[in-house]
Chain A
Amino acid sequence: MNSNDHPDLTAFALGELDAEHSEAMAQWIAENPSARAEADATTTLGERLRHTAPPANLRLHPQQRAALLNGPQRVRQLVAAASQGSKRRPSTLRVIVTSIGRMAAAAALIIGGFLAGTHFANRNAPAIASTKPAPPEATKTKAPSSEAPVAPFRAKEITSPALAEAAPAPAPVVVAKSKPAPAPKAATPAPVTVAFAPPSTLQEPAKSAMPKTRILNHAFVSTSKATLSHATLLPAETRFVSPKSEALSAAAKLPATVKTIEPAPRTKQPELRIHSWKAEVASCPWNEAHRLVRLTLQIPSEQESPNTRYPLQVSFDPNYVRSFRQLSQRTIAASAADAPAFHILWFEFQPNGQAINATREAKMIGSVTIPNALFTTPAAGPFDSTRLQIVDRGTAWTAAREDFLFETAVAGFGLLLKGENHSPALNHSLVLKLAQHAAIDDDRTGERAKFIKLVEDARQMAGL
């Protein structure tokens, strides 16, 4: 912030400084033409805002006015009666009926839970076998093959880096296993065995810990079946890494090993500090019937608890969204020690019914929730820092911001590389068109030009 970019200069221009400060500021800007120009611009804008302020000519309804102006005594009586009424004790009959209802609901839940658990356990017997207790030593984490004949992942696959790298990875690798505690004496927390694999194989925490509605393989999920999409944010991935420390950490990389750690005592999860967050919605360039959502979180690179994985839940309103899928999720680490980092999620969704267009009223189509989020800057009033609404204003992709367009091109290229579940309209030409449209003005780092070259090369190599 330079000297011309200071709240006091704005306060001076709006006549909000006290006499002493105002005099000092007047002397200073008399010697500083650029500051004077800044103050004049602010004053002009303020005057125009006052001049063009929308007229306030709405009144209360006649009956509302009459209630206030003609019947103040009656109003007081009503207010008093209302406050007394709210303190009235509920009737005995109501208490009994409510209690019976609660007991019935509890019984239904218990029976339903038991039946569902029995059914689920029978259907997934082989998978359960793979989670049988195993000794903490690395060489013993491999379950006997007779006990787990169809276990999807074997401990051996993640204890050897060579195997982990060479093996095809059609599905996420399970990197953590916890000892189940079927015996009653397991009330004492058992040690947790964690296998540390190279970063390329580390994808997610334990598979069993992930929500069932997690989106995989970019498939669309109907909101009649699931309205939530779950993601996580790990602040350690957003940290600025200087070239020197990066070299040191690369040299210190160790092959995958298995360690035994004691479970930490349960404590309250620390807060995730965020500078700001934003949700943008625009039409989908490769499918006219679909729309795209970009969620951007700007966070400080240094967090109180960098190794805590924070849940990030995206909920879609079935009234406006028929189905959705997560296209990508990425973290952009801070470019300097004091610079912010970004966490970005992309979704594609199919609107329920006719798509919202720009001439219609904006609609709230969903929300994003991070339970422990806290803004780094003070907010006005008791606004909720843990929940962000996703509002669709009917914006067309042609009217979207350039960075939105460019990232749309990147997300589209990602879909092309995966080669599945995308519209025929999505091709290299469309990706290039989007990227080139966005790269006209703002390509300070040259990244956009590199991406365009990459896509052109890919198209040429594919013979298209």
Chain B
Amino acid sequence: MPAPSPSSESDALVREAMGLYESQLIAYAANILAGDIERARDVVQDTFLRLFQADPTRVRENLKAWLYTVCRNRALDVLRKDHRLDLGDEDKILSFTDHRPDPSQSSDTSELYDRAWTLLEQLSKNQQEVIRLKFHHDCSYKDIARITGLSMGNVGFLMHVGLKKLRTLLTEELSEHSN
């Protein structure tokens, strides 16, 4: 039996990648592109096109991280061309010590947690990204570090600060809700 040609291997890999990650990648790119789904689709199509050109044996091992990395870079390229790239680093300004009860300790907060993804918009871009990659795209810290180019320590710090702030925002919502 002859060995599979590189092109047929690439085709199989692209089909597999599309089956597994097509929708997830569109959602991820749309978040970077401020909800522009059409552009997100273009970015994801471009990502799969690049997968055709990549060496399947090298990519297969870290397929997910590779796809997210390429998708992210393409989306950021689009933003750069549009001059829409910014970093809203609001951590220091918004951060404050809060001694009110944590929302997880309240029994009447299940509805409130549904708002967590909306409240996520109030976090800085980098915090949003690591939290989305972790809980929406099921990426590990290691994957996130590969995708974003950050160190594992930075990913851990951003995740820690971001989740703390999200809890604070939920607490504020809870107190407003109860008032």
Residues of A within 8 A of B (CB): 5-11, 14, 16, 37, 40-42, 44-46, 48-50, 52-54, 56-61, 64-65, 67-69, 72-73, 75-76, 79, 275-278, 296, 298, 340, 364, 367, 375, 377-385, 387-389
Contact between chains at B86 and A276 (CB < 8 Å): no
When distances are taken between beta carbons in the complex, the residues of chain A under 8 Å from B87 are 375, 379, 383-385, 388
Cβ A10 vs Cβ B26 within 8 A? no
Judged by a CB distance under 8 angstroms, whether B30 is at the interface is: yes
Q: Which residues from 122 to 142 on chain B have a C-beta closer than 8 Å to any C-beta of chain A?
A: 125-126, 129-131, 134-136, 138, 140-141
Contact across chains for A380 and B150 when beta carbons are under 8 A apart:
yes
Q: A58–B48 contact, CB under 8 A?
A: no
User: Across the interface, which residues of A come within 8 angstroms of B66, CB to CB?
Assistant: none
Is there contact, CB below 8 Å, between B150 and A378? yes
Residue of A40, A58, A61 with most partner-chain B CB within 10 A: A58
B residues at A contact (CB < 8 Å): 7, 10-11, 14-15, 18, 22-24, 26-27, 30, 37, 40-41, 44-45, 48-49, 52-53, 72, 76, 84-93, 102, 104-105, 113-114, 116-117, 125-126, 129-131, 134-136, 138, 140-141, 148-150, 153-154, 156-160, 163-164, 166-167, 170
| Given known A-B contacts A41-B167, A72-B14, A48 and B157 have beta carbons under 8 A apart | no
User: Which of B76, B116, B157 interacts with A45 by CB under 8 Å?
Assistant: B116
Contact residue among B44, B45, B86, B160 (Cβ-Cβ distance under 8 Å from A383): B86
Q: A384-B85, A388-B86 are in contact. Are A59 and B159 (CB under 8 A)?
A: no
Q: Tell me the complex Cα distance, A69–B49, Å.
A: 10
Contact status B160-A45, CB under 8 Å: no
In the complex, the answer to whether A54 meets B52 with C-beta atoms within 8 Å is: no
Complex Cα distance, B26 from A53, in Å, reads: 15
Other than A8-B156, A10-B160, A69-B14, give 18 A-B pairs with Cβ distance below 8 A: A7-B157, A7-B160, A10-B156, A11-B159, A16-B156, A48-B113, A49-B136, A50-B135, A56-B26, A60-B18, A60-B45, A72-B14, A76-B52, A380-B126, A380-B158, A381-B149, A383-B125, A385-B87
Say whether A72 contacts B156, CB under 8 Å. Answer: no
Q: Does B104 contact A45, Cβ atoms closer than 8 Å?
A: yes
Min distance, Cβ B73 to any Cβ of chain A, angstroms: 9
B residues within 8 A CB of A16? 140-141, 156
Q: Are A380 and B30 in contact (CB under 8 A)?
A: no
Cβ-defined partner of A388 (8 Å) among B37, B88, B148: B88
- The distance in angstroms between the C-alpha atoms of A277 and B156, with both chains bound, is 22
Q: State the majority secondary structure of interface residues on A.
A: mixed
Q: Which residues of B contact A42 (CB under 8 A)?
A: 163
Q: Which A residues touch B126, using CB under 8 A?
A: 379-381, 383
Q: Is the CB of A52 within 8 A of B156?
A: no
Give the contacting residue for A11; candidates B22, B131, B156, B167; CB below 8 A.
B156
User: Does A72 lie within 8 Å of B114, measured CB to CB?
Assistant: no
Q: How far is the CB of A61 from chain B (nearest CB, A)?
A: 6
Residues of A with C-beta under 8 A to B23: 56-59
Expressed in whole angstroms, the minimum distance between the Cβ of A124 and any Cβ of chain B is: 36
Contacts of A278 in B (CB 8 A): 88, 90, 93
Does the CB pair A11–B141 fall under 8 Å?
yes
Task: Give chain B residues whose Cβ lies under 8 Å from the Cβ of A379.
Answer: 87, 89, 126
Query: What residues of B have a CB within 8 angstroms of the CB of A14 in the complex?
Result: 134, 159
A381 in contact with B86 (CB, 8 Å):
no
B150 in contact with A58 (CB, 8 Å) = no
- B136 close to A53 (CB less than 8 A): yes
Say whether B44 contacts A60, CB under 8 Å. Answer: yes
Residues of chain B lying within 8 A (CB to CB) of residue A367: 86
Chain A to chain B contacts (Cβ below 8 Å), 21 pairs: A7-B156, A10-B164, A14-B159, A41-B167, A45-B116, A45-B167, A49-B116, A53-B136, A54-B136, A58-B27, A58-B37, A59-B26, A60-B18, A64-B45, A68-B45, A73-B7, A275-B92, A276-B89, A276-B91, A277-B89, A380-B154
Min distance, Cβ B54 to any Cβ of chain A, angstroms: 12
Among B7, B18, B160, contact of A68 (Cβ-Cβ < 8 Å): B18
Do residues B86 and A389 form an inter-chain contact, with CB atoms below 8 A? yes
**Separation of A385 and B166 alpha carbons in the complex (Å):** 24
Question: Is A69's CB under 8 angstroms from B18's CB?
Answer: yes
Compute how far the CA of A277 lies from the CA of B88 in the bound complex, rounded to whole angstroms. 7
Contact call A59/B22, Cβ cutoff below 8 A: yes
Asked if residues A52 and B114 are in contact (CB atoms below 8 Å), the reply is yes
Known contacts A50-B135, A60-B22, A72-B11; is-contact A384 B86 (Cβ 8 Å) = yes
Structural contact, B72 and A58, CB atoms closer than 8 A: no
CB atoms of B76 and A381 under 8 A apart: yes
Top 10 A-B residue pairs of the complex, sorted by shortest distance between their CB atoms: A380-B126, A383-B87, A7-B160, A49-B135, A10-B160, A7-B156, A48-B113, A56-B23, A56-B27, A44-B104
For the complex, give the distance between the alpha carbons of A41 and B100 in Å: 14
* Nearest CB of chain A from residue B61's CB, rounded to whole Å: 20
Partner of A5, one of B14, B89, B136, B164: B164
List the A side residues contacting B160 at CB < 8 Å: 6-7, 9-11
